[in-house]
Structure 1
Amino acid sequence: MDVVELMGWLAERGCSVVFKADGERSRGQRWMVIVTGGPLGAESFFRADLASADACLEATLAHLESRGFSPFV
């Protein structure tokens, strides 16, 4: 699964998702992902600031799985 597929899957389930690359940030954390809402709950908020889009994707999938919400089930 890639970032676009995951974003689509989450949006279909009522989540809001932001993936961002920021060239003005330090090299170690230029990528950010935020996931809110949907089956994760109105008060749910996940954010990761990491070095690559792949790392953000992996962190998001791990978080979703820890909440019992995965595109692979």
Structure 2
Amino acid sequence: MCELMEWLAGHGVTTVFKVDGDRMVERKKAWMVVISGGPLGEDAFFRADMDTAEACRDAVLAHLESKGLSPFA
């Protein structure tokens, strides 16, 4: 996830990635990622609350692909 965050930052995208201990204890979706700015647009943002860090990464990659962006291009 760190490499993806660095790629996003290099393209002007702000990324917040966290895990919430209270949610983890409650067995709720504890992982969250938010991305905004850069080529996504000033007012655009994407948020995903997931069960795992990997699921957050996959959600971001799918969102980027839907916007025509890819760190693999």
Q: 1:27 offset after TM fit, Å?
A: 1.8
Separation of aligned partners in 1, 2:34 and 2:68: 18
- Other-structure match for 1:43: 43
Any runs of at least 4 consecutive aligned residues in structure 1 with deviations exceeding 6 A, and if so which?
none
Unpaired segments ≥5 residues, structure 1? none
Please give the TM-score of this superposition, normalised by the length of structure 2: 0.93
For 1:8 and 1:50, locate their aligned partners in 2 and report how far apart those are by CA, in whole Å.
21
Look up the match of 1:32: 32
| Letter of the structure 1 residue corresponding to residue 49 of structure 2 | D
Aligned length in residues: 71
Q: Gaps (5+ residues) in structure 2?
A: none
Question: How far does residue 44 in structure 1 lie from its aligned partner after superposition?
Answer: 1.0
Between the aligned residues of both structures, percent identity stands at 58
